[in-house]
Amino acid sequence: MGGRFVYWMNVSADLRIEHAAGEQGGGEWMRIGEPLHREFNRRARALSAMVQGRTIYETMEGFWPAARADESLPDFLREYGEIWTSKPKILVSRTRTSAGHNTTVAASIEELAELKSRTEGDIGVGGATVATGLLRAGLLDELLLFTHPVVLGAGRPLFDDQVAPVELDLLEHEAFDEGVLLHRYEVRYR
């Protein structure tokens, strides 16, 4: 049967993933408290693998491995550090040829299609460029969006320019503290 690519992202109400260049998933506009982060941990633990673009990967690589043992951090952050570090990951990059922390490197959508065919379960996707490539290739299966109650008005969109509309079917929704909403959608290709 193969795996399912799930694009997992924090977004604003106007579907921006960054307001300012370089936020890399950590903008001040996000409202990530303990209950929401515990949900991240639960869902990340259930993934078969993670696929991340170079920018997202390098941001994660710069923090989470050390976070595992940092006693100054709350337990739920240390837990995510352990999950991220130990989970099989695929770094999508044309410039890097190696990576640590249980990571292999892929340079093409074709390699990701092969990964999907030989993997069972959900494969988390991080990064707009990778997700857009998967969507254009008809390989993206789900969106898992954590929508924060803010309109940014500018910044990096959830997807790069898309050629044709894509319909979505709502699979799940949930509300968290601070007004953050989870929406999980199945991608329906025409």
Task: Look at the block and give the residue holding tokens 């390989």.
Answer: 139
DSSP H or E segment with residue 68: none
Is the pLDDT confidence value at 93 over 80? yes
Contact residues for 58 (Cβ-Cβ < 8 A; gap 6+) = none
Residue 65 has φ and ψ, to the nearest 5°, of: -60, -40
DSSP H or E segment with residue 59: helix 54-61
User: 14, exposed or middle or buried, with CB in 10 Å at 0-12, 13-18, 19+?
Assistant: middle
| Percent of the chain surpassing pLDDT 70 | 96
The tokens describing 106, both together, are: 């892929």
Is the pLDDT confidence value at 163 over 70? no
The tokens describing 113, both together, are: 């299609």
Residue 101 has φ and ψ, to the nearest 5°, of: 60, 50
Integer Cα distance of 145 and 142 in angstroms: 10
DSSP labels for 84-135? HHHS-EEEE-SS-----SSEEEE-SHHHHHHHHHH--EEEEEE-HHHHHHHH
- Give domain limits for the chain: 3-188
- Which sign does the torsion angle of CA 14, 10, 135, 54 carry? positive
Task: With H, G, I as helix, E, B as strand and everything else as coil, classify residue 162.
Answer: coil
List, for residues 4-43, the tens digit of each pLDDT value: 999 999 999 999 998 887 766 667 899 999 999 999 999 9
Residue 27 confidence (pLDDT):
79
Task: For residue 10, list its beta bridge partners.
Answer: 146
Residue 164 confidence (pLDDT):
79
* pTM of this structure: 0.93
- The answer to whether the CB of 43 falls within 8 A of the CB of 8 is yes
CATH of domain 3-188: 3.40.430.10
Task: With H, G, I as helix, E, B as strand and everything else as coil, classify residue 147.
Answer: strand
